[in-house]
Amino acid sequence: MRFTGSLLATGLQLSAVLAKQPSPNKKPNIVFVLTDDQDLHLQSMDYLPLVKKHLTDKGTFYKRHYCTTALCCPSRVTLWTGKLAHNTNVTDVNPPWGGYPKFVSQGLNEAWLPVWLQEAGYDTYYTGKLFNSHSLDTYNKPFPAGWTGSDFLLDPYTYTYMAPRYQRNRDPPVAYEGVNTMEVISQKALGFLDDAISNKDKPFFIGIAPIAPHSDITGGKNGERIWGPPVPLEKHANLFPNAKVPRTPSFNPDVESGASWVRGLHKQGDENVEYNDHYYRQRLRALQSVDELVDDVMKRLEAAKLLDNTYIIYSSDNGFHIGQHRMQPGKMCGYEEDINVPLIIRGPGVPQGAVSDVVTAHVDLAPTIMQLAGMPLRDDFDGAAIPLTKPDQKKAINNLHEHVTVEFWGKALTEGGIVFRPDEPATILNNTYKSLRIIDVKKNDYNFYYSVWCNNEHELYDMKTDPYQMTNLLHPAAKAPKTLLGRPFDAMVARLDALLFVLKSCKHETCVEPWSALHPAGNVKSLKDALNQRFDDFYVKQQKKVRFERCADGLLIDAEGPQFETEGSVYRRDGLHWSEWT
Ligand SMILES: *[C@@H]1O[C@H](CO)[C@@H](O)[C@H](O)[C@H]1NC(C)=O
Ligand SMILES: *[C@@H]1O[C@H](CO)[C@@H](O)[C@H](O)[C@H]1NC(C)=O
């Protein structure tokens, strides 16, 4: 996702902004608050007045920000490396598919943001959850590289609100029995902030990754893991007694929706809905300590007179659903609730109280931070720097950056802690799919979600007319329109499929400018450009279609069907296609 042709300009704009800073030689500080499983679409942001006061009202809210894999570990690895999950092969939370050991064995511990920031002259700090399977056994095999100071939550106690274990620098892990993890992390975060502020010679980066509002997970007597709602601080325990999951059209609907296993779910009964509302309130309550932590952080930055040279970034690793499409609490799906996540950025030159229309994703955040740190962007990034200033945001809209790559492998879990129907177990197999979001940011002419599941079911939602994704236009029973965007329906879908064909295995630049892979002449840069009738044949007849050979739990190329790099067609003016001339 690149803002075509604007990178150089972005760099210049940025240096103009930085030049206005009081200490022009000092690089900006960066504070990154990363919550766990926080939704955007269940309105959790409405319950965080201090985040609003300090960040949303004083910064820019990126309303079209997406995670690319809706699961903690792959999402976080993407965020801190600037690479999509199909390029890190950290696709799940535990080995062999993912987790901290996989991050290490993939060589990523030497090639991620804190290491690069230290090279750029930064002091780097982090507290809270880093990755899954970063545990009592693995925390020092080896230690995560690149941190000046660190205090990590460790598995299997990462999600145990009332008995977490943290591990500081090179010290052994420490248990905090009976203390709420949110109190622990707040103190650690503020301690690191004080350390960072006191070193006046160096700019700093601080990552603060609280567990809220993730489910609580406690070990049972027989080593089993017991899931339940998050545990708020006592003083927040009775807030919002009447709050309920927003009753949108996709909330526990009368008709089935979605595809694959989602379409097979039953409507939830009253007892189930009541429990899920309780679970929802516990999330809002647990988030209150994040709100207060942000307040404390901002007060300290203000007291240290650092606000005019500090960027504050607020986001969540992935989104969350409760009841939409009849699903139990969880994530891991491609629906909007799971992938469209909060992103707020406040800092010098960033418009205040603004809402940006640009389409951005977690894979863009490492490039964004590198650029703030005055570092060149790496050639192997799969994302591009997010435009921060007003002119850059405007330029990005015109340079059209409109897609997000979404991918997932393996199981889906329900995380509420209670199984309401024996025929709907907590672990669902074959939740493997590739999908994309595409939004016309300039004219709002289109807004789609397109997916292909590993059982080869397809989904298409026209989100201009169906924002809650209730009508899958590619379901065999659906009445699809004859034309879409002025093309025959199938010819339009073939374009989305070709785009997904490129994106599902893209590398680097191609992930940012996928249309160039299909049209190397450079005359097609958006879906709109690709709609030209003369390309109908190319998309419908010449291009191979996205297809899975089978459902795999991880990135096994032989399960993933044709690969664009070896079997794709490239449009050429003379009418020949790549497969014909190579
Ligand atoms: C999961 O996918 C595998 C491989 O494609 C298939 O054999 C199996 O029947 C599927 N299981 C379910 C529960 O759908
Ligand atoms: C990804 O990791 C899995 C598990 O280690 C491995 O089997 C697979 O071959 C890897 N995929 C690629 C493309 O390297």
Confidence band of 2 (pLDDT split at 50, 70, 90)? very low
Whether residue 579 has pLDDT greater than 70 = no
Confidence band of 21 (pLDDT split at 50, 70, 90)? very low
Mean pLDDT of all residues belonging to the chain: 94
Distance 550 CA to ligand 1 centre (A): 8
Q: What is the pLDDT of residues 424-461, one digit of tens each?
A: 999 999 999 999 999 999 899 999 999 999 999 999 99
Q: What is the pLDDT of residues 182-196, one digit of tens each?
A: 999 999 999 999 999
Residue 358: in which H helix or E strand, if any?
strand 354-361
Q: Model-level pTM? A: 0.94
552 token code pair: 């795999």
Distance 37 CA to ligand 1 centre (A): 28
Atom of ligand 1 minimally distant from the CA of 550 = 5
Most informative mutation of 260, 261, 429 for ligand 1 (most atoms within 8 A of CB): 429
Burial code (b: 16+ CB inside 10 Å, e: under 16) for 339-373 equals: bbbbbbbbbbbbbeeeebebbbbbbbbbbbbbbbb
Whether residue 223 has pLDDT greater than 90 = no
- pLDDT recorded at residue 524: 94
> What's the sign of the alpha-carbon dihedral 519, 522, 526, 527?
negative
Q: What is the pLDDT of residues 243-274, one digit of tens each?
A: 999 999 999 999 999 999 999 999 999 999 99
Q: Confirm or reject: Cβ of 550 under 6 Å from ligand 1.
A: yes
Distance 91 CA to ligand 2 centre (A): 10
Q: What's the CATH code, domain 5-402? A: 3.40.720.10
Whether residue 22 has pLDDT greater than 70 = no
Q: Which of 67, 72, 333, 511 is catalytic?
A: 72
Atom of ligand 1 minimally distant from the CA of 430 = 1
Confidence band of 1 (pLDDT split at 50, 70, 90)? very low
Q: What is the mean pLDDT of residues 215-232?
A: 93
Query: Rounded to an integer, what is the distance from CA 431 to the centroid of its chain?
Result: 18
Euclidean distance between CA atoms 404 and 400, whole angstroms: 13
Q: Confirm or reject: Cβ of 414 under 6 Å from ligand 1.
A: no
Q: Confirm or reject: Cβ of 411 under 6 Å from ligand 1.
A: no
- pLDDT recorded at residue 577: 54
- pLDDT recorded at residue 6: 39
3-class secondary structure, 271:
helix
Atom of ligand 1 minimally distant from the CA of 559 = 5
Q: What is the mean pLDDT of residues 492-520?
A: 97
Determine what percent of the chain is predicted with pLDDT higher than 90: 90
Euclidean distance between CA atoms 205 and 29, whole angstroms: 6
Neighbours of 216 (CB within 10 A): 20
Confidence band of 400 (pLDDT split at 50, 70, 90)? low
Q: Where in the chain is the domain with CATH 3.40.720.10?
A: 5-402
Q: Confirm or reject: Cβ of 429 under 6 Å from ligand 1.
A: yes
Confidence band of 401 (pLDDT split at 50, 70, 90)? confident
Q: Confirm or reject: Cβ of 89 under 6 Å from ligand 2.
A: yes
Whether residue 575 has pLDDT greater than 60 = no
Distance 448 CA to ligand 1 centre (A): 28
Q: Confirm or reject: Cβ of 557 under 6 Å from ligand 2.
A: yes
Whether residue 137 has pLDDT greater than 70 = yes
Distance 70 CA to ligand 2 centre (A): 19
Confidence band of 306 (pLDDT split at 50, 70, 90)? very high
Q: What is the mean pLDDT of residues 513-538?
A: 94
Q: Confirm or reject: Cβ of 430 under 6 Å from ligand 1.
A: yes
Active site residue 72: yes
